């Protein structure tokens, strides 16, 4: 059974850096596409970054150049390095996974089968 568990949530000062992780079990990340989404209160879930099974990465315009998605296939761990954080980055962050490539469909939450429960990242002014 596939399980995704996020870790590393917390409060961060604006302008600072933070790293969150997602540990997967029940599948091998090398054969799956993985992604990070976030959802702020009153807003829809938003795609942040994704990595297809071939290693290709995609980023939301709002985080391009600031966030980096990476994965360690040996440990089935997905990470999101967040730099130059802004208050607008405050949200619950979710990792997601699915078999195969998502291409442009990655930004659609319903395209992903497996989800973590989410962790809160709060960026203070």
pLDDT tens by residue, 5-42: 999 999 999 999 999 999 999 877 678 899 999 999 99
Residue 2 has pLDDT above 80, yes or no: yes
Nearest in space to 79 (alpha carbons), one of 26, 18, 30, 38:
18
Please state, in angstroms and rounded to a whole number, the distance separating the CA atoms of residues 65 and 72: 21
Which residue has tokens 């469909």? 105
pLDDT band at residue 53 using 50, 70 and 90 as cut-offs: confident
């Amino acid at each position: 059974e596939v399980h995704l568990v996020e870790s590393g949530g917390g409060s961060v000062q604006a302008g600072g850096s933070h790293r969150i992780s997602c540990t997967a079990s029940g599948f091998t990340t090398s054969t799956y596409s993985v992604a990070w989404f976030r959802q702020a209160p009153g807003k829809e879930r938003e795609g942040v970054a994704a990595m297809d099974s071939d290693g290709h990465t995609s980023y939301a315009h709002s985080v391009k150049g600031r966030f980096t998605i990476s994965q360690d296939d040996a440990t089935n761990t997905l990470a999101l390095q967040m730099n130059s954080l802004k208050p607008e980055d405050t949200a619950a962050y979710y990792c997601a996974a699915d078999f195969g490539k998502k291409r442009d469909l990655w930004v659609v939450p319903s395209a992903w089968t497996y989800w973590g429960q989410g962790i809160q990242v709060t960026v203070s002014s």
